[in-house]
Structure 1
Amino acid sequence: MTRLLPAVLLLAVLGSACTASLRGRADKLAQEGRFVEAATLYDDLVQQSPHEKELVTERDGLRGRALDQLLGNARRFRLQGVDEKAEEDLLQFLDRRAQWNSKLNGGLESSLLEEMEGTHQHLRRTISTPASQGLALTADQMLTRKQKLLAHREMAVIQREMSAAVLQSGRDVCKRLRDVSSEDAPHWRELVSRYCRRWREFAPEPPPAAELLSVPTWTGDVDGLDSAQMELLRGRLTRAFESSPWFSPSARHHPEMSLAGRFASRRDSHTVSLTAPYSEQVPYTDHEDRTETISEPYSEEEEYTDEEGKKRKRTVTKTRTYTRTITVPVTRYREVSRTFEYHALRLSVDHQLTVSSSGVLDSQRGPLATVFQDHLSDSAYEHDVSFGPGNVYPRRAQLVDPEPWLEQRVEQIVQRFAQGLREHWHESYCTTPARTLDEAARCARAGTALPTPAYQVLSEVLGDDAAHAPSLFATP
């Protein structure tokens, strides 16, 4: 126990020093008015010393100041007419209040009610108003943006009101869209069906348009991939096709898509000679001049007076001092550059992948072709040699395995294939001006921003919601 005491004391001193440092940082943040960050650091302090009442009191005080600051910022932005900024701070206030389970004093409760009323008015303008104008998609986009704020229990009443307004708007528009003439317009009818489904209303789904296709059949192989890897690749590409504008589960025609390419992974190892530079202190003999002081005795006669007053002489010994310079040998050291030679095993891997897919999706155009190529070379040394002066220590090679590398490349292939499908649809059906609702709805299937002609056609029925029509095709 006696031997452990110094270590225990050292840990206590270090712990106390860390606490003091953390508290100093927290207090500095508080002095700078950054109360949220200061309170967060005091959370750590209280966690380390939960029984120190002073820390708990200081933390609770900082939490109160942080909440007051956040709500004050929200009120200030609201009075300036910057509603979005106000609601960002209100969201932080509500998040922190819930996290800290804080009780509010009367002043903060009053300010919160005022800020909630300001938020209510703003959301009525940005959600309820467009909803009442039949712009349910526009209103729903704003409602989605505000979901984190409206999810707080304090906002439950406002959330229900906004959601009800958007839902009712969508249902009303659905009824109107169902009455729009849609003979020989399968794309428009599918847009209406998706629109109504979004608001839990029914609109009959039309038979698939002639341009739509079922799951593709795959031919060809990628050399170097086994049957399981090929099955994985085909399956991932098929799922990408099912999420594309080209797909309809009811379509009868299965496009034929071909795959080709090659995957090769090569490993190599051979022994190599390596050198590590280092410096060595080498002794050598040098000479240096030194000065020494010599004390030399000598004899001299001096006169003195004896007790009878007579002059007499006697011999005395004295010392004289002088210096002299001598040359002495000394040992010195100089740094000499050396190299340490040792043997290691050089391991290397080389992964190469090329995959191409091709198939005709639009009979009026050439085939959709996507090509993916990637290559990785990696190498490392492996040995058990140790030589401290040259900073040489045992090493183990950690090279990129082919399986995870191939899995990442497959994901990139799928992403490129999906992008190519969207672009191919857009080039087929969005590059010529849309003249009818069906042509405009067909273009919207691409899921990208509508070109001006398609937007103008759809806006005659959907108004400004036409800009959000592509979002209806984001999900099946």
Structure 2
Amino acid sequence: MFRLLPPLLLLVVLGSACATLRGRADELARNGQFVEAAAIYDELVTKNPFEKELVSERDGLRGKALGQLLGNARRYRLEGIDEKAEDDLLRFLDRRAQWNSKLNGGLESSLLEEMEGTHKHLRLTISSPAKLGLALTAEETLVRKRPLLSHKEMVVIQREMESVVVQSGKEVCQRLRDVPSDDAPHWRELVSRYCRHWREFAPEPPPAPELTAAPSWTGQVGGLDSARMELLRTRLTRAFESSPWFSPAASHHPELSLAGRFTTLRDSRSVELTAPYTEKVPYTDHEERTETVEVPYDVEEEYTDKNGEKKTRKVTKVHTYTRSFTVAVTRYRDVARTFEFHALRLSVEHELTLSSSGVLDARRGPMSAVLQDHLSESAYEHDVTFGPGDVSPRRANFTPPESWLEERVEQMSARFAQTLQEHWRESYCTTPARTLDEAARCARAGATLPTPAYQVLSEVLGDDAARVPSLFVTR
């Protein structure tokens, strides 16, 4: 039964817990771990909001933590380790915002110096490549630095960096639109996507002959009803529409087939179960004991009275001796027992085989994606209660087949998408690219470019060529 602690005892317990937490926080502070120590004091103040000493200690630790973080940032900056400096600056700004802390003059001055150091570093890593026409490279760094630049102290730097990156992207877009692109639909689509990325316009070409519309589906998966089949087709169609093969403007619908089977087997059988337990069994034992016996006896003794005459008198004395005897005692021993009872053993097994195949590249064999999986579960069910053997009623609780099947459909969708990407790469990235159109066609895979394709694209885009595949990744 749950019982409330007496008020005095409750205060003692809470006080002991607080003392333990405070001791741990003070130890962290002695070791220079001010951020961690301040976090524990936050917890203590939450529990004791009116204890001024705790609030004062917490505020002092917060100040030391902020000073430590900003000091680390300044030290790394002076050592030329800019990335680590900005990591600690971010932690400083995060904590300052979280704690709503006001800075003293020294910290304000250090913060301004660190912001200036960050500004110089970002001009080097963002502005410089942007001004060289490497807008995607600059944007990649900008995205990585967004958590830092999102703080209100950094808003001026953020606007400058975003402006220079966007301007670079717009200028590169203009340059790419002027590149001759007759009979190069993949290159023209790359340019269109690049410009659209920077909210600029570039005409989108008609779909290249390799591209298709959403597939039409044939075939059936045994064991799936119409609703589940529709779910499967919908998820796979969505994966196809995110693949390199798809264009919403294409007119050709490839025919892809579905096959496989979903089965569920259930079984129920009566079984006899055994629960071990221990019983304390009484038995009679004999125990040797000893006792001290005092036997009185009378003796005559002489004494001299006050007149000096010798007389005799009887006195009682005690004779002491020890005797041993045996007594019967009841003892208990642990005896292993078993409790036998009947139960139902229920089992269920789901098994799924899925495959999708079809011809997407007439020069090659069919693309095929396959998934096989199964789930076996079993449990006992009964209404028996037997405390000594820790036996209580049980009910089987199995994974619902609908949720298990939906997870497998998601897995099939991911495998299907990966297979489509690999099929595109094998079709259009294995032969060395010689033209911008061939390199752009390979980039549609949304994966790392092979060296020949990178070299062709880098002649126009420089190092940004490595980041071009990201333009084709559907998010």
Q: Distance in 1 between matches of 2:443 and 2:236?
A: 23
Moved more, 406-415 or 292-301: 292-301
Provide, for residues 366-411 of structure 1, a one-character-per-residue CA deviation record: whole Å limited to 9, x for no partner.
1111110111111122233222221222323221111111111111
1:9 to partner: Cα distance:
3.3
Provide, for residues 234-270 of structure 1, a one-character-per-residue CA deviation record: whole Å limited to 9, x for no partner.
0010000000001001111101011011111233333
- What are the equivalent positions in structure 2 for 1:1-150 lying under 5 Å apart? 7-150=6-149
Q: Is the 8 A contact 1:215 1:255 kept in 2?
A: yes
User: What secondary structure, in the 3-state scheme, does the structure 1 residue paired with 2:221 have?
Assistant: coil
Name 1:260's counterpart in structure 2. 259
1:301 to partner: Cα distance:
3.9
Q: Distance in 2 between matches of 1:155 and 1:382?
A: 63
1:105 to partner: Cα distance:
1.3
1:462 to partner: Cα distance:
1.0
- What are the equivalent positions in structure 2 for 1:283-298 lying under 5 Å apart? 283-298=282-297
Corresponding letter in the other structure for 2:455: Q
**In the comparison of the two structures, how many residue pairs are matched?**
473
- What are the equivalent positions in structure 2 for 1:9-408 lying under 5 Å apart? 9-305=8-304, 309-408=308-407
Residue 23 and residue 311 in structure 1: after superposition, are their counterparts in 2 closer, same or farther (change >3 A)?
Answer: closer
User: What secondary structure, in the 3-state scheme, does the structure 2 residue paired with 1:296 have?
Assistant: strand
Provide, for residues 311-370 of structure 1, a one-character-per-residue CA deviation record: whole Å limited to 9, x for no partner.
455554432222232222222211110011222232222111111111111101111111
Residue 315 and residue 179 in structure 1: after superposition, are their counterparts in 2 closer, same or farther (change >3 A)?
Answer: same
Q: Distance in 1 between matches of 2:161 and 2:5?
A: 66
1:460 to partner: Cα distance:
1.1
Moved more, 167-176 or 71-80: 167-176
Moved more, 294-303 or 336-345: 294-303
Moved more, 267-276 or 76-85: 267-276
Corresponding letter in the other structure for 2:222: D
TM-score by length of 1: 0.95
Q: Distance in 2 between matches of 1:115 and 1:6?
A: 53
User: What secondary structure, in the 3-state scheme, does the structure 2 residue paired with 1:207 have?
Assistant: coil
Q: Distance in 2 between matches of 1:404 and 1:229?
A: 11
Moved more, 7-16 or 59-68: 7-16
Name 1:460's counterpart in structure 2. 459
Q: Distance in 2 between matches of 1:373 and 1:198?
A: 39
Corresponding letter in the other structure for 1:99: Q
User: What secondary structure, in the 3-state scheme, does the structure 1 residue paired with 2:253 have?
Assistant: coil
Residue 321 and residue 399 in structure 1: after superposition, are their counterparts in 2 closer, same or farther (change >3 A)?
Answer: same
Moved more, 375-384 or 310-319: 310-319
Moved more, 76-85 or 397-406: 397-406
Q: Distance in 2 between matches of 1:17 and 1:301?
A: 73
Provide, for residues 262-292 of structure 1, a one-character-per-residue CA deviation record: whole Å limited to 9, x for no partner.
1112333333221111111111112232222
TM-score by length of 2: 0.95
1:172 to partner: Cα distance:
1.3
Q: Distance in 2 between matches of 1:306 and 1:112?
A: 112
User: What secondary structure, in the 3-state scheme, does the structure 2 residue paired with 1:149 have?
Assistant: helix
Corresponding letter in the other structure for 2:201: F
User: What secondary structure, in the 3-state scheme, does the structure 1 residue paired with 2:272 have?
Assistant: strand
Name 2:417's counterpart in structure 1. 418
Q: Distance in 1 between matches of 2:448 and 2:261?
A: 36
User: What secondary structure, in the 3-state scheme, does the structure 2 residue paired with 1:438 have?
Assistant: helix
Residue ranges of structure 1 left out of the alignment (5+ in a row): none
Percentage of matched positions with identical amino acids: 73
User: What secondary structure, in the 3-state scheme, does the structure 2 residue paired with 1:146 have?
Assistant: helix
Q: Distance in 1 between matches of 2:174 and 2:306?
A: 150
Q: Is the 8 A contact 1:349 1:377 kept in 2?
A: yes
Q: Is the 8 A contact 1:349 1:400 kept in 2?
A: no
Residue ranges of structure 2 left out of the alignment (5+ in a row): none
Q: Distance in 1 between matches of 2:6 and 2:383?
A: 35
Residue 220 and residue 295 in structure 1: after superposition, are their counterparts in 2 closer, same or farther (change >3 A)?
Answer: same
User: What secondary structure, in the 3-state scheme, does the structure 2 residue paired with 1:462 have?
Assistant: helix
1:293 to partner: Cα distance:
2.2
Corresponding letter in the other structure for 2:215: P
1:428 to partner: Cα distance:
0.8
Query: CA-atom RMSD, angstroms?
Result: 1.8
Q: Distance in 1 between matches of 2:432 and 2:100?
A: 58
